[in-house]
């Protein structure tokens, strides 16, 4: 195997580079098949990565990846080959470029369409410092569906900064790309020099293009357009690119994917997708919208059965939110399925275009809470705190699959914006075979059990099952409330509970800073109550990557952690390190 380490790699002859690419591709196939991770996108940029690392003087020159899920080869070629076994594992290297991890990672990424903006800022910063080293941004055609990329291209054309924009054009992001076919006319109409399209799997052709850039366009921007194949070099991934985007573990010889969990319980995402189909059959004005996450949000069946009522807007969170608002003005009931971490990008539109006008857009907030190996760029822990501040919003969270169904059904009857958050996990209990939709009263919580211990646990979301399991072993009897709603709160029930239990514990899968616990504390304070409120959730810090179970265990947000907390609260164990005031 060729030594990938960057300083030695620079001394290879150009004719050896395809050998480097071949070995690198096999190295990634070997590792990802054993440990999981992003796959097809990484195979598609092997030759490009080798050529860029060979041509540039890294890390002095800056190479910025868009999204960064395709940067495995970059990490291996720089300084992380020996640590790649730890990719996406707790305490290991990140699955995305990360400035604090390596000097070769010029800019931290995880969300789409930031590369050109960052590269332009770097180029102008170096101009001010009279530094002529080179800046390269690699962006895919999928990321070029997003508004920020166009804003950056427009600004780049205006400033004429010396940035090389490499377009990795493979006609797909996770699902097939939405939008126009990229061409010279498109980029030249913006006032940008253009070269291509070139074969993105031909190292000699890429190197020739880089030489043209260096010799002729070193003082102004250039767009280098490369055609690539996602999954290149692994036939199953080439044939089924969406399935092999992040397939988990697999047999590298046969292409057989490792079996999934043996549990028969579906995920919240699967319940959502099935429910959307059922609701669409009942409500002809219901439509579904997703910003490029059709398969991830389990909307493929909806797309197939209701193609005229399904909209994949591309990676366009801002547009998707305002598009939904426009639909709502016409009496249509839009359901925007959007990951919590991506909804952050549409925050202004949610306030200005939806909530301010009190339009009945339903936000199905997928991947709410901690999500696992994708880490801090993808954890969906800020939506409760962010959305609670907005007038006219309803904030809801189901504790199980049946509640998710009923909340979606009920939201169609509420004439204002609704946000329904649910985690990336399996539902905790089976849904009855005959599960007719039930209208849930707006803002009404559900009392699960009443205890005599003077302690009430207020759970917002899908941690309810773990909490119930934890308290089942207690000697003390605890009041448990499935809150369902963070806004509006159930004033009547909370008044009752305030008299029954002087101590409250809130539980949520979101940030404690401004989250559900803070909402409850404010309720207690505003009403002059004497109840003590302790909060369990995600602390005020960015949580790193790791298996979801590991992260929950680390933060005490699993059955064992809840059990330990409540036993300490009631003095039922000998531990003494719990600070209830945290």
Catalytic residues: 230, 317, 345
**Strands of the 503-511 sheet, one edge to the other:** 446-449, 479-482, 455-460, 503-511, 532-538
Report the C-alpha gap between 394 and 381 in whole angstroms. Answer: 17
Q: Between vectors from CA 201 to CA 35 and to CA 196, what angle results, nearest 5°? A: 135
Identify the residue whose tokens are 């009752």. Answer: 496
Return left, alpha or beta for 304; rule: phi > 0 is left, psi -120 to 50 is alpha, else beta: alpha
Q: Cβ(562)–Cβ(466) under 8 Å?
A: yes
DSSP summary character for residue 344: G
What is the Cα–Cα distance from 442 to 347, expressed in whole angstroms? Answer: 24
Q: How many CB atoms lie within 10 A of CB 468?
A: 20
* Helices 268-282 & 401-411 angle (0-180, nearest 10): 40
Q: How far apart are CA 495 and CA 493, in angstroms?
A: 5
Report the distance separating Cα 443 and Cα 339, nearest Å: 23
Q: Are 123 and 161 in contact (CB under 8 A)?
A: yes
* Cα–Cα distance measured from residue 22 to residue 14, given in angstroms and rounded to the nearest whole number: 14
Q: How far apart are CA 381 and CA 370, in angstroms?
A: 6
Q: Which helix (H) or strand (E) covers residue 467, if one does?
A: helix 464-471
What is 273-328 written as a DSSP string? Answer: HHHHHHHHHH-TTEEEEESS-TTTTT-HHHHHH-GGGEEE--S-HHHHHHHHHHHH
Residue 239 CA to residue 224 CA, distance in Å, equals 26
How far apart CA 552 and CA 562 sit, in angstroms, is 10
User: Residue 352 carries which DSSP code?
Assistant: I
Question: Which helix (H) or strand (E) is 508 found in, with range?
Answer: strand 503-511
Give the integer Cα–Cα distance in Å for 220 and 214.
Answer: 10
Give the integer Cα–Cα distance in Å for 548 and 90: 10
> Which one, of 30, 42, 116, lies nearest residue 73 by Cα?
42
**197-208 CB burial, b ≥16 within 10 A, e <16:** bbebbbbebbbe
- Biggest distance spanned by C-alpha atoms of the chain: 80
Burial of 331 (0-12, 13-18, 19+ CB in 10 A): exposed
End-to-end CA distance of the chain: 52
């Amino acid at each position: 195997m060729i030594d990938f380490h960057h300083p030695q790699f620079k001394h290879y002859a150009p004719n050896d580079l395809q050998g480097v690419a071949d070995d690198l591709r096999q190295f990634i196939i070997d590792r990802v098949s054993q440990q999981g991770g992003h796959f097809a996108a990484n195979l598609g940029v092997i030759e490009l990565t080798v050529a860029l690392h060979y041509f540039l003087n890294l890390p002095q020159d800056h190479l910025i990846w868009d999204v960064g899920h395709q940067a495995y080869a970059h990490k291996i070629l720089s300084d992380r080959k020996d640590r790649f076994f730890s990719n996406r594992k707790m305490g290991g290297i990140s699955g995305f470029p990360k400035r604090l991890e390596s000097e070769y990672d010029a800019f931290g990424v995880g969300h789409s369409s930031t590369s050109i903006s960052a590269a332009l800022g770097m180029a102008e910063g170096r101009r001010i410092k009279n530094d002529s080293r080179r800046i390269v941004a690699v962006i895919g055609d999928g990321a070029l569906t997003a508004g920020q990329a166009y804003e950056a291209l427009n600004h780049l054309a205006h400033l004429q900064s010396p940035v090389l924009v490499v377009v990795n054009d493979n006609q797909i992001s996770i699902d097939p790309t939405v939008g126009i076919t990229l061409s010279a006319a498109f980029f030249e109409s913006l006032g940008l020099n253009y070269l291509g399209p070139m074969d993105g799997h031909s190292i000699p052709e890429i190197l020739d293009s880089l030489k043209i850039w260096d010799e002729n366009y070193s003082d102004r921007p250039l767009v280098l357009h490369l055609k690539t194949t996602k999954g290149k070099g692994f036939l199953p991934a080439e044939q089924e690119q969406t399935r092999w985007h992040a397939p988990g573990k697999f047999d590298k010889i046969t292409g057989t994917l490792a079996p999934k969990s043996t549990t028969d319980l579906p995920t919240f995402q699967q319940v959502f997708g099935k429910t959307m189909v059922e609701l669409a059959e009942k409500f002809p004005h219901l439509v579904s919208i997703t910003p490029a996450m059709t398969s991830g949000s389990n909307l493929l069946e909806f797309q197939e059965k209701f193609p005229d009522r399904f909209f994949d807007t591309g990676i366009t969170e801002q547009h998707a939110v305002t598009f939904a608002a426009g639909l709502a003005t016409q009496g249509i009931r839009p359901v925007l399925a959007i990951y919590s971490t991506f909804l952050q990008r549409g925050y202004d539109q949610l306030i200005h275009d939806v909530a301010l006008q009190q339009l009945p857009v339903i936000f199905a907030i997928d991947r709410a809470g901690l999500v696992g190996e994708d880490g801090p760029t993808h954890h969906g822990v800020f939506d409760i705190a962010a959305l609670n501040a907005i007038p006219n919003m309803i904030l809801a969270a189901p504790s199980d699959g049946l509640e998710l169904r009923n909340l979606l059904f009920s939201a169609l009857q509420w004439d204002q914006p609704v946000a329904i958050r649910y985690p990336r996990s399996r539902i905790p209990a089976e849904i009855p075979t005959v599960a007719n939709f039930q209208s849930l009263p707006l803002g009404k919580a559900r009392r699960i059990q009443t205890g005599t211990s003077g302690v009430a646990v207020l759970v917002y979301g899908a941690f309810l099952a773990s909490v119930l399991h934890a308290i089942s072993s207690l000697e003390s009897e605890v009041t448990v409330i499935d809150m369902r709603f963070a806004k509006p709160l159930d004033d009547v029930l909370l008044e009752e509970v305030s008299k029954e239990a002087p101590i409250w514990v809130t539980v949520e899968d979101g940030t404690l800073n401004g989250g559900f616990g803070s909402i409850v504390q404010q309720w207690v304070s505003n009403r002059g109550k004497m109840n003590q409120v302790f909060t369990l959730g995600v602390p005020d810090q960015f949580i790193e990557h790791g298996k979801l179970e590991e992260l929950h265990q680390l933060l005490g947000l699993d059955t064992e952690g809840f059990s330990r907390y409540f036993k300490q609260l009631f003095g039922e164990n000998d531990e003494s390190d719990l600070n209830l005031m945290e």
